[in-house]
Amino acid sequence: MTVRESGALDVERIREDFPVLDREFDGTQLVYLDNAATTQTPNRVIDAIGDYYREYNANVHRGLHQLSQEASIAYEEAHDRVAEFIGAAGREEIVFTKNTTESENLVAYAWGLRELGPGDTVVLTEMEHHASLVTWQQIAERTGADVAYIRVDQDGYLDMDHAREVIDDDTAMLSALHVSNTLGTINPVADLVDLAHDRDALAFIDGAQAVPNRPVDVEAIDADFYAFSGHKMAGPTGIGVLYGKQHLLDSMEPFLYGGDMIEKVTFEESRWNELPWKFEAGTPSIAQGIALAEACDYLDEIGMEAIARHENELAQYTLERFAEFDDIETFGPPAGEERGGLVSFNLDSVHAHDLSSILNDYAVAIRAGDHCTQPLHDKLGVAATARASFYVYNTREEIDVLVEAIDDARQLFA
């Protein structure tokens, strides 16, 4: 059992599943608080990768031999498992990509390049990750479309009145974050999708920081496209997901061309394979796809509701501890408001990069920088922030260690 009777996670028990958490540096126990960048991997997900290579390593959809058949079945079923995990109708709607970034690029190239033109607008938010912001900027530049941004207010929330203004009849695509990797804000994505649909626009939701941490139902959100990465949800690197409504994926041209994405090829022309394989050209990340399905099992067994509660509690505790100090500025929704499991902050006297490297001496891993949201940092008036981000295995005690280490950094720079 990984959830106690109170509904809280049995973190001590969960920690046993993650071998890397036992690491020590110069005798100091690792405190891993960089989960928004990449989460750690439980033994059973590592085993799923090992089992594939040890027992049935073969290419998929190509061989009639037993190994290839086993690999193909496991790889295809992994799509079914991911579909179930996010409430999609079936494997036809689940394209395996390399990561969220590739999922964004797939839609931008395969849909955007063909469908956008002068007079169209792509609406983003000011808190967008570069994965969508840079991608849509580029596609807009090539097609003559405009880009507009929904404002972020003082508390790190989207200004929904502004959203209602910016999303207008020229809007062809809305691309918005579900949960901000910098502010921790949980956006009202179903409302945003509604606003887009009211104007006959499509809606792409970047769920890189949502799917790992909270229950997500793409059908309830009614997103046309939804993207996330395996390595942020206890899965491996090298695997990401693009969910797309079947009729849209059907109507789109492929993004990449080559083997496996075709049904029939002649010297003159080619016809495309059925979904989702039409969008998975070449040999895919087979072991990683299979292991991602294992990660879905793992997270579901813990319970996504319990995970969301745990992360919000750790974020609230961090805000509470940081509030003890006048020289720590935090970003995003105020204490008491529900947020994703991360807190970005700055210490007055110490640059975020210096802070991060001092914390490293205490075996505390956080991230410092712009978190791939440079325009948002410009708006916040800071070049960089430090960020502590949490997952199922983190504890309040680890946040206390973080706060003590920050205190030592403060003394060092005094």
Cβ closest to ligand C6P, residue 120 vs residue 206: 206
User: Given the DSSP bridges, would you call strands 385-389 and 367-369 parallel, antiparallel or unpaired?
Assistant: antiparallel
Question: CA triplet 307, 212, 56: central angle to 5 degrees?
Answer: 115
* Contact flag: residue 177 with ligand C6P (CB under 6 A): yes
Instruction: Tell which positions 8-37 bind ligand C6P, by CB under 6 A.
Output: 36-37
SS3 7: coil
Give every CB contact of residue 23 below 8 A, 6+ residues apart in sequence: 29, 30
* Contact flag: residue 99 with ligand C6P (CB under 6 A): yes
Q: How many residues bind ligand C6P (CB under 6 A)?
A: 16
Residue from the set 100, 121, 125, 330 that interacts with ligand C6P by CB under 6 A: 100
Give every CB contact of residue 161 below 8 A, 6+ residues apart in sequence: none
- The least distance separating ligand C6P from the CB of residue 354, rounded to whole angstroms, comes to 19
Instruction: Tell which positions 333-392 bind ligand C6P, by CB under 6 A.
Output: 367, 371-372
Cβ closest to ligand C6P, residue 99 vs residue 213: 99
Cβ closest to ligand C6P, residue 93 vs residue 128: 128
364: closest CA among 400, 396, 335, 402? Answer: 402
- The least distance separating ligand C6P from the CB of residue 13, rounded to whole angstroms, comes to 27
* Contact flag: residue 209 with ligand C6P (CB under 6 A): yes
* Contact flag: residue 40 with ligand C6P (CB under 6 A): no
DSSP symbol at 208: T
Give every CB contact of residue 188 below 8 A, 6+ residues apart in sequence: 158, 160
* Contact flag: residue 394 with ligand C6P (CB under 6 A): no
| Active-site residue list | 372
- The least distance separating ligand C6P from the CB of residue 6, rounded to whole angstroms, comes to 30
- The least distance separating ligand C6P from the CB of residue 353, rounded to whole angstroms, comes to 15
* Contact flag: residue 126 with ligand C6P (CB under 6 A): no
Exposed e or buried b per residue across 186-215, where buried means at least 16 C-beta atoms within 10 angstroms of its C-beta: bbbbeebbebbeeeebbbbbbbbbbbbbbb
SS3 61: coil
Q: Please answer whether residues 271 and 262 qualify as being in contact, where contact means their C-beta atoms are separated by less than 8 angstroms.
A: yes
- The least distance separating ligand C6P from the CB of residue 404, rounded to whole angstroms, comes to 24
Residues that bind ligand C6P (CB under 6 A): 36-37, 99-101, 129, 131, 177, 181, 206, 208-209, 229, 367, 371-372
